[in-house]
């Protein structure tokens, strides 16, 4: 992917602004497309020069070509503003952390249909091998730098996308048409964001509602896949603007079971999803802003057999804003999320292989999360240049019910589980410039959380209640950045972070085809201590970044095997420790006015270092982490005319379990995206995923499952008024 910022030759530049806190089914697609096509054409807008879109995200880069400059004029550099690394607006050119910025054009022109697929080549980001629209939702784990599991925080306009009950990430709650940019910060950011941020933070920012525009992408492809993404924004009068955004997809999917292991119960993993968002916002002349939005998500998914299905329904409301308070600024946000997750789980009929199954249980897993934050920030002068303080809190609750059946369909038992968690945190950060070229950034956060109301009632064992528990933890971070000379800077950080056990791990038991997972109300938090050092180098049309990191997790939560016959019975426990160390190398080469190349590689040595319950696991690889990960992206995107983006990503073997017996194949995948203008407002495109049709195992937890095969999609894109998204550019040659 195209790089998006340069490392400046001057010292850190701090801004005073705090962060912005900011279908019917596809049967409606033809009618909507006709309506969009019948709209009058808007006059042509003049777009700012932009960097060429790229196939996959990487680290920031120094130079971005846009419209060809006049004779003798140099290429311009792109300098994005980032928020996540410091919880305040900063230039990405000089922030004392390893940050990747993925701009809107890179998301739009990536050969992928979901946001997580568009981020697959971000160096250091660990994702499942299957797309979020086709794999079991609870397996949408996100981590960084080899930590595995749910050990990274994902935010959408400052609001967590990590499910409050389960911890997994709900990627399709962010309609692609709303995404302005994505910021990926490596290394623990728990000193600012608390829970889950022990491994790093992914922040998704939505587009501002400025001007009147209509945009739509409609495509059709392999496995009878139909997709529509559409948005309409309008002025509501005065300074108010409103927008409606829709993402919808319907696919028959592919059969994920390996050919040699398939039986009559195996069917394609079909998926149908709808995400609708409505938003209104206003912006004042002084920089103040206010927004309110609502979101509805509905997702049906086959688990790959005739009887096993999942259904998710989610409703979200959020509001927030920021305003001046003297020479300081105050920002605030609040949100409410209501989710229902219903699952039909099956088991194989003994002796019938994969030719017969029966409905083993039906589970309803509702959850709610309500929270908010308040932050004060001020830019200063002298040695102390910036100061911010804030607080946030949220309360998550769940009430689960399960009904079990035997092979004849007779009800054999019921179970209900419930409980809630409350989190509250106080944080602060200060930036110092003791000398012109050195920035010292200090941040710390005090978190407290309470697990309460835990109870289980079963028809077999009666009522059990669990003791309320509370924990408090202080997580500091110290970051340094020193500009050695123009184009060369070094930086380093030491930090501490944590992940609290989820309500699912504390109070919810589950049964799958071959495994029984027991809850554990005695679980405690995981704690990470680590650090990294890095260097940023820019020269001409090249920007490169090198990082070395070392992290250790104590109180590691992992599933301990309690029994293996007749079924596997496991329970999450704090079983020991793990260590992750490695190196990240990434670079951007601007080869011409419209041609760029990005490349990246990560070596991650992530192993279990202590496990008293099972010493045989010591030295094993942490699940869902590849030791070697490499990627490259070549992008050709002139100011006008056809555009092409080709990306390659390679991963070494990884394992689905801590015993390292369930292996997933090493593989190389090529993806392609190409577009050509048809009129001023319309653009035709083709997208191909897994161009070489490589077959590899992407999941091995409940039987071996195949990763996505070759998939080809063709589509039409509408932009009214016609434009290509602009990237902010500086005048620095």
Residue-wise pLDDT for 25-81, tens only, equals 433 333 333 333 333 333 333 333 333 333 333 333 333 323 333 333 334 345 567
Phi, psi of 223 (to 5 degrees): 65, 30
Percent of the chain with pLDDT over 70: 86
Q: What is the pLDDT of residue 104?
A: 86
Q: What is the pLDDT of residue 432?
A: 95
Of the listed ranges 129-143, 252-266, 481-495, the one predicted with least confidence: 129-143
Q: What is the pLDDT of residue 31?
A: 36
Average pLDDT over residues 304-319: 93
Average pLDDT over residues 380-406: 93
Residue 446 neighbours by CB distance under 10 Å:
17
Average pLDDT over residues 506-531: 85
Q: What is the pLDDT of residue 133?
A: 81
* 3-class DSSP string for 476-502: EEEEEEEEEECCEEEEEEEEEEEECCC
Average pLDDT over residues 398-419: 92
Q: Is 214 helix (H, G, I), strand (E, B) or coil?
A: strand
Average pLDDT over residues 527-555: 95
Q: What is the pLDDT of residue 514?
A: 65
Using the predicted structure, report yes or no on whether residue 666 has a pLDDT greater than 90. yes
Distance of CA 283 to CAs 210, 236, 491, Å?
A: 10, 12, 36
Distance of CA 446 to CAs 191, 193, 390, 513, 554, Å?
A: 8, 10, 11, 42, 19
Whether omega before 721 lies within 30 degrees of 0, making that bond cis, reads yes
Q: How many helices (H) and strands (E) does the chain have?
A: 5, 39
Average pLDDT over residues 158-167: 90
Give CA–CA dist 157/114, Å, rounded. 18
**CATH superfamily of the 26-720 domain:** TonB-dependent receptor, beta-barrel domain (2.40.170.20)
Q: Is 24 helix (H, G, I), strand (E, B) or coil?
A: coil
298: tokens are 């509905």
Of the listed ranges 209-213, 430-434, 547-551, 683-687, the one predicted with least confidence: 209-213
Averaged confidence pLDDT in the chain: 84
Q: Are strands 438-458 and 462-465 parallel, antiparallel or unpaired?
A: antiparallel
Give CA–CA dist 659/623, Å, rounded. 9
Q: Which residue has the higher pLDDT, 472 or 665?
A: 472
Q: Which residue has the higher pLDDT, 211 or 343?
A: 343
Phi, psi of 513 (to 5 degrees): -55, -40
H or E element: which one contains 693? none
Give CA–CA dist 611/619, Å, rounded. 10
Domain coordinates of the chain in residue numbers?
A: 26-720
Using the predicted structure, report yes or no on whether residue 499 has a pLDDT greater than 60. yes
Q: Are strands 711-720 and 99-103 parallel, antiparallel or unpaired?
A: unpaired
Q: What is the pLDDT of residue 582?
A: 97
620: tokens are 């094993």
Average pLDDT over residues 489-502: 96
pLDDT tens track for 345-376: 898 898 888 899 999 999 998 999 999 999 99
Q: Is 548 helix (H, G, I), strand (E, B) or coil?
A: strand
pLDDT tens track for 252-309: 999 988 999 899 999 999 999 999 999 999 988 777 899 999 999 999 999 889 999 9
Using the predicted structure, report yes or no on whether residue 463 has a pLDDT greater than 70. yes
pLDDT tens track for 560-571: 777 776 677 888
Q: What is the pLDDT of residue 513?
A: 62
Average pLDDT over residues 584-599: 91
H or E element: which one contains 398? strand 384-405
Q: What is the pLDDT of residue 723?
A: 56
pLDDT tens track for 616-640: 999 999 999 999 999 999 999 887 8
Q: Which residue has the higher pLDDT, 395 or 705?
A: 395
Global pTM reads 0.86
Using the predicted structure, report yes or no on whether residue 493 has a pLDDT greater than 80. yes
Q: What is the pLDDT of residue 53?
A: 31
134: tokens are 């086709």
Q: What is the pLDDT of residue 79?
A: 57
Average pLDDT over residues 106-135: 88
Report for 508-512, 593-597, 708-712: range of highest mean pLDDT:
708-712
């Amino acid at each position: 992917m195209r790089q998006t910022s340069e490392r400046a030759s001057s010292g850190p530049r701090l801004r005073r602004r705090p962060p912005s806190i900011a279908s019917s089914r596809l049967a409606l697609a033809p009618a909507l497309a006709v309506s969009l096509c019948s709209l009058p054409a808007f006059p042509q807008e003049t777009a700012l020069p932009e960097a060429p879109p790229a196939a996959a995200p990487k680290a920031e880069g120094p130079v971005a070509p846009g419209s060809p400059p006049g004779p003798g004029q140099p290429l311009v550099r792109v300098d994005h503003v980032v928020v996540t690394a410091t919880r305040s607006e900063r230039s990405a050119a000089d922030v004392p952390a390893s940050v990747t910025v993925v701009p809107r054009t890179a998301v739009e022109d990536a050969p992928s249909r979901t946001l997580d697929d568009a981020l697959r080549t971000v160096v250091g980001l660990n994702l499942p091998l299957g797309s979020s629209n086709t794999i079991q939702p609870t397996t949408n784990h996100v981590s960084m730098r080899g930590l595995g599991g749910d050990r990274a925080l994902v935010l959408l306009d400052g609001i967590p996308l990590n499910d409050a009950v389960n911890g997994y990430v709900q990627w399709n709650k962010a309609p692609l048409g709303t995404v302005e940019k994505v910021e990926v910060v490596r290394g623990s950011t728990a000193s600012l964001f608390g829970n889950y941020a022990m491994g790093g933070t992914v922040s998704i920012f939505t587009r501002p509602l400025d001007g009147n525009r209509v945009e739509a992408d409609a495509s059709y492809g392999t496995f009878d896949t139909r997709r529509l993404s559409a948005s309409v924004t309008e002025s509501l009068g005065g300074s108010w603007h409103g927008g409606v955004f829709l993402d919808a997809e319907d696919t028959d999917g592919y059969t994920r079971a390996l050919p040699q292991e398939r039986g009559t119960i195996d069917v394609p993993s079909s998926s149908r999803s709808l995400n609708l968002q409505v938003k209104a916002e206003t912006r004042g002349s002084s920089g103040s802003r206010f927004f309110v939005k609502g979101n509805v998500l509905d997702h049906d998914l086959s688990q790959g057999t005739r009887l096993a299905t999942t259904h998710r329904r989610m409703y979200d409301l959020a509001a927030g804003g920021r305003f001046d308070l003297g020479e300081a600024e105050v920002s605030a946000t609040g949100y409410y999320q209501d989710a229902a997750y219903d699952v039909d789980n099956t088991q194989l009929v003994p002796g019938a292989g994969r030719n017969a199954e029966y409905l083993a249980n039906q589970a309803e897993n509702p959850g709610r999360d309500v929270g908010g934050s308040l932050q004060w920030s001020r830019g200063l002068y002298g040695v102390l240049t910036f100061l911010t303080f804030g607080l946030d809190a949220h309360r998550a609750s769940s009430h689960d019910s399960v009904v079990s059946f035997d092979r004849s369909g007779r009800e054999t038992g019921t179970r209900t589980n419930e409980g809630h968690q409350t989190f509250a945190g106080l944080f602060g950060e200060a930036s110092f410039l003791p000398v012109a070229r050195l920035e010292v950034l200090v941040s710390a956060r005090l978190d407290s959380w309470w697990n309460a109301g835990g109870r289980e009632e079963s028809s077999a064992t009666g009522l059990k209640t669990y003791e309320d528990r509370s924990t408090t933890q202080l997580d500091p971070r110290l970051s340094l950045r020193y500009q050695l000379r123009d184009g060369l800077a070094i930086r380093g950080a030491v930090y501490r972070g944590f992940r609290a056990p989820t309500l699912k791990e504390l109070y919810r038991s589950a049964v799958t085809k071959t495994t029984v997972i027991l809850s554990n109300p005695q679980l405690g938090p995981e704690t990470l201590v680590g650090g990294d050092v890095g260097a940023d180098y820019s020269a001409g049309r090249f920007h490169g970044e090198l990082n070395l990191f070392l992290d250790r997790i104590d109180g590691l939560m992992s599933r301990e095997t309690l029994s293996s016959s007749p079924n596997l019975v496991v329970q999450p426990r704090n079983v020991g420790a793990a260590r992750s160390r490695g190196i990240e190398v990434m670079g951007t080469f601007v080869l011409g006015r419209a041609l760029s190349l990005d490349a990246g590689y990560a070596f991650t040595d992530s192993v279990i270092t202590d496990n008293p319950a099972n010493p045989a696991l010591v030295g094993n690889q942490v699940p869902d982490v590849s030791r070697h990960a490499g990627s490259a992206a070549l992008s050709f995107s002139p100011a006008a005319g056809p555009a092409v983006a080709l990306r390659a990503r390679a991963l070494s073997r990884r394992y689905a379990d801590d015993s390292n017996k369930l292996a997933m194949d090493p593989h190389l995948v090529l993806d392609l995206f190409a577009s050509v203008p048809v009129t001023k407002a319309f653009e035709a495109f083709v997208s191909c995923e897994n161009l070489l049709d490589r077959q590899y195992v992407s999941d091995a937890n409940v039987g071996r499952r195949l990763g996505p095969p070759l998939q080809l999609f063709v589509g039409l894109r509408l932009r009214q008024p016609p434009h290509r998204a602009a990237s902010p550019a500086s005048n620095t040659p």
